[in-house]
Amino acid sequence: MHVPKETINPKLLKILACPVCKHDVKLKGEELVCGECGRRYPIVNGIPNMIPDELR
């Protein structure tokens, strides 16, 4: 059985920003990555978890 990768709505991706440095994030695999500070945010059940590592 093939399990689909997590996806995120392209409209949502356009408005998301890193909560720490406020720069754009890019979809890389199954997570969002900030192009400025490099922080990574997992996508769980299609919902990005934008809580920084130090607060998770």
pLDDT of residue 54: 81
* pLDDT tens digits, one per residue of 3-55: 455 578 889 999 999 999 999 999 999 899 999 999 999 998 888 999 988 88
Residue 5, CA distances (Å) to 30, 37, 53 in order: 7, 25, 22
- Listed residue (44, 36, 46) closest to 9, CA to CA: 46
Looking at the structure, give the CATH architecture of the domain made up of residues 10-55: Single Sheet (2.20)
Q: Domain residues of the chain, as ranges? A: 10-55
